[in-house]
Amino acid sequence: MRTLLVSLLAVFALAAQPVLADDISTAIDNFREAGAGDFIDDSYGYAVFPSIGKGGIGIGGAHGKGEVYVGGKRVGQTKMNQITYGLQLGGQVYSQMIFFRDKRAFEDFSSGNFEFGAQATAVALTAGAQASTSTGGGGNASAGTDADSSTVSSSERQYDGRSGMAIFTITKGGLMYEATLGGQKFKYEPI
């Protein structure tokens, strides 16, 4: 038990580190290599979190710091916090990117305090592999190339219809077993 507690504290300490430009650049490159290049190139903007620490024993949480970009230019900083309840044990560190389809989606996110409900889902990417997910619309979408990309890009089909956002994660390390409920809360600060 003591080892697990020390491990969880180490996970959160890693995520609490300041965000460095090299970390942001590396995270963006990792997402591009993992199949999110269409989103990076075609989105109105995005938030990138190089390291989010997550851990829990019954009650858990996650925290990370990131930066927000519009048109490839840094426009703000953001923090993510999450509290989860339910069956969970372990800790992990992951990178996360949130893509904004349009100005409305960006404005929703940057309006101050934004929250994804417990029902929000993310596409889990593995470096060097393509990812697929259901966006709640009943169909699967691929984060890679598409034979029929002339009509709708693959990235366009993966945005959530209500929020206009798409979420991708890449696990960096750790092990987490969970069946939990909890949403992510974001605080945005323009620069």
The whole-angstrom separation of Cα 103 and Cα 113 is 17
Q: Render pLDDT for 33-60 as a digit per residue (tens, 0 to 9).
A: 999 999 999 999 999 999 999 999 999 9
- Residue 170: strand pairing partners: 95
Q: What is the pLDDT of residues 147-162, one digit of tens each?
A: 332 233 455 558 887 8
Give the whole-angstrom CA distance, residue 130 versus residue 34: 6
Residue 189 has pLDDT above 90, yes or no: yes
Examine the pLDDT at 179 and tell me if it is beyond 50: yes
The answer to pTM > 0.85 is no
Q: What is the pLDDT of residue 127?
A: 57
Q: Where are the domains of the chain?
A: 2-190
Model confidence band, residue 94 (pLDDT cutoffs 50, 70, 90):
very high
Query: Which residue, chain included where needed, has tokens 């940057």?
Result: 110
Model confidence at 92, pLDDT cuts 50, 70, 90, reads very high
How does 1-33 read in b/e, with b if 16+ C-beta sit within 10 Å? eeeeeeebeebbebbeeebeeebbeebbebbbe
Half-sphere exposure of 77 (CA within 13 A, CB side): 9
